[in-house]
Structure 1
Amino acid sequence: MFSYRHAFHAGNHADVLKHTVVIAALKHLTQKDTALAVVDTHSGAGLYRLDGDYAETSGEAANGVARLQAPAEAGAEPLAPALQDYLDMIASFNNKGSHKVYPGSPFIMQRLIREQDRLKLFELHPTDAKTLAANIAQLDAGRQIAVFREDGFEGSRKFLPPPSRRGFLLCDPSYEMKSDYERVLTMVGEHMKRFATGTYAVWYPIIPRPEAHDLPRRLKTMATKAGKSWLHATLTVKSSKIITNTDGETIRPGLPASGMFLINPPHTLKAQLDAALKQLVVRLAQDKNATSTLESGG
């Protein structure tokens, strides 16, 4: 149950997609003066070292954020605004010219919320929960940020709907447990019944598993039946095929793609992601199968 550690995957292509979406969404939602409640159901440790043992073992950041940070070729078009905002956010956690620290969703969110907003962070993994609490304590944020070593699927119920009736929830479990897919759907469905105007953002892996392909379809059905707008973005960077090399070894591709599904997304988000996804396909492609999709409705 506690095997997943995001430190191995920090800064990979899935983080690039997820955090680009989170930043663009929160930048829009914080334009209105009314307080915003922000909930992260699976927070991780909050901050990661890309030169640490975990990240260097996997090397996933090299094919993710590092590709965007590399100098562009002469004559290349400027980065889409949403991608530039993402890189600026990552750079703000590092000394000039350094790329050693990667902020997870909790610290990205903390940078974007205002004095009147509140941030609720959930993490069940004992080591990551302890690290998250220690990292957040250094901010001296007082009551603005609360960290809970609890199951975010269940614990988030305590804070939605918020008194302000404005909220943003990010749900990005590891999906190592097959039941996570169903729990995502149950949680989002329950929250929508009680807090229909909240913005819900769900990250998920696109892998050869029926539940992974059913999740966005069922979220779309849920949003459509409730009469809510939705936005679905996916990024594929390589083939998902398992191959056998000349030595007879089975080579698994790792995570080839991921998606973000939002219910009640900011109206500005689709245009921002359209420009960003086109560039991500080019910059993060690992083979000729790289592609992206962007759908909306409601």
Structure 2
Amino acid sequence: MLSYRHIYHAGNHADILKHLVVSQICRHLIKKEAPFFYLDTHAGIGQYPLDSEQAQKNKEFQSGIAKLLSEDNLPESIEALLDIVREMNPNGQLEVYPGSPKIVDYYVRQKDKLHLCELHPNDFPTLAALFPNKRKANVVKDNGFAAVKAMLPPPQKRGFVLMDPPYEVKKDYQYVVQALQEGQQRFPQGTYAIWYPVLNRRQADNLLKSVKSTGIRNVLLLELCIRNTEKERGMSGSGMIIVNPPWTLEKEAKEFLPFLQDTLAEDNDAGYQITWITPE
């Protein structure tokens, strides 16, 4: 189908949760001198102009990243993410928001390597132009799920795989679990993060059950819902399923998720989860 364009949703509550996790994983990875490999299965355009016609249509960033930028006394992990956003907007006006590739790019060193996949014919050229240095980032017009099998295990022996398909095709819920199994079998020491939307509770829970049924160990679930998951249509929240998370992430989530719930809530049914789908 390839009709989904993330620019309509850039900087919303789901992006904040996803990019907080991405940022914290990268902060953990660069604590060691050894290089790491990053695979992004659905990289988008890398960064999003918020003054564009698409981003301005629903202005989802206003109730997301813009709201956080106006807050004080933030958890340290949120400040780290906002530092990246501020660096990309040096004049103090919120004009551009980083996608996952730019979040990772903020942390990578010369010895680290990015492999960015994007299949959308309009988004791929934009992403490729943003990362012209092939020694640093390999940008391919490819099915990101297939890249999990093709690119793992990486020569760097340390790595992070982000899978955040748009789920516009229902089979993405199956494909993402299959890709996780494939990746974990080929590269068991890697860190994997799966983003998913909460469109309704049953659909989200079925995905979590599918992940649990794989038998993969050391799987942490972080989820944020900003409103009731059943009363209104649309995405009421989102979650991150993290395999082999940094040992500090659970503690950090206990600081940033309550803050995000209080700051971004749209009704009294807002909530969050911090759960081990399967322990180590």
Q: Which band: TM-score by shorter chain?
A: over 0.9
Q: Could you tell me how far apart the structure 2 residues matched to 1:31 and 1:221 are?
A: 33
- Aligned-pair identity in percent equals 39
- Gap change, CA 1:147 and 1:275, over 3 Å in 2: same
Q: Could you tell me how far apart the structure 2 residues matched to 1:212 and 1:294 are?
A: 15
Q: 2:113 is matched with which residue?
A: 118
8 Å contact from structure 1 (residues 206, 213) kept in 2: no
Q: 2:50 is matched with which residue?
A: 50
User: Is 1:143 aligned to 2:135, yes or no?
Assistant: yes
Offset, 1:209: 6.5
User: Is 1:191 aligned to 2:183, yes or no?
Assistant: yes
8 Å contact from structure 2 (residues 199, 233) kept in 1: no
Offset, 1:142: 3.6
8 Å contact from structure 1 (residues 9, 55) kept in 2: yes
- Gap change, CA 1:12 and 1:49, over 3 Å in 2: same
**Root-mean-square deviation (CA), in Å?**
1.3
2:178 match: secondary structure: helix
Offset, 1:200: 0.4
Q: Could you tell me how far apart the structure 1 residues matched to 2:22 and 2:224 are?
A: 15
Q: 1:285 is matched with which residue?
A: 265
1:102 to 85, 97, 100: 97
8 Å contact from structure 1 (residues 181, 211) kept in 2: no
User: Is 1:2 aligned to 2:2, yes or no?
Assistant: yes
Spell out, residue by residue over 1:161-216, the C-alpha distance to the aligned partner (whole angstroms, 9 max, x if none).
01122110000000010000000011110111111111000000012274432112
Q: Could you tell me how far apart the structure 2 residues matched to 1:126 and 1:257 are?
A: 28
Q: 1:29 is matched with which residue?
A: 29
Residue identity in the other structure for 2:120? H
Q: Could you tell me how far apart the structure 1 residues matched to 2:71 and 2:25 are?
A: 27
TM-score (normalizing by structure 1): 0.90
Q: Could you tell me how far apart the structure 2 residues matched to 1:294 and 1:71 are?
A: 23
Q: Could you tell me how far apart the structure 2 residues matched to 1:295 and 1:210 are?
A: 17
1:269 to 246, 249, 261: 249
2:223 match: secondary structure: strand
2:209 to 213, 217, 220: 217
Residue identity in the other structure for 1:160? L
1:143 match: secondary structure: coil
Larger deviation, residues 118-127 vs 188-197:
188-197
Q: Could you tell me how far apart the structure 2 residues matched to 1:95 and 1:176 are?
A: 35
Residue identity in the other structure for 1:93? M
Residue identity in the other structure for 1:105? S
Residue identity in the other structure for 2:52? G
1:134 to 121, 129, 135: 129
Q: 2:86 is matched with which residue?
A: 91
2:165 to 165, 168, 173: 173
Q: 1:248 is matched with which residue?
A: none
Spell out, residue by residue over 1:5-52, the C-alpha distance to the aligned partner (whole angstroms, 9 max, x if none).
000000000000000000001100121111101000000011111121
Q: Where do residues 8-23 of structure 1 align in structure 2 (5 Å cutoff)?
A: 8-23=8-23
Q: 2:229 is matched with which residue?
A: 240
Q: Could you tell me how far apart the structure 1 residues matched to 2:237 and 2:263 are?
A: 14
8 Å contact from structure 2 (residues 40, 101) kept in 1: yes
1:280 match: secondary structure: helix
Residue identity in the other structure for 1:259? G
Q: 1:64 is matched with which residue?
A: 64
Spell out, residue by residue over 1:55-111, the C-alpha distance to the aligned partner (whole angstroms, 9 max, x if none).
110211111111101144xxxxx2111111111111111123211100100111111
The alignment of Structure 1 onto Structure 2 pairs a total of residues equal to 278
Residue identity in the other structure for 2:75? A
Q: Could you tell me how far apart the structure 1 residues matched to 2:71 and 2:204 are?
A: 35
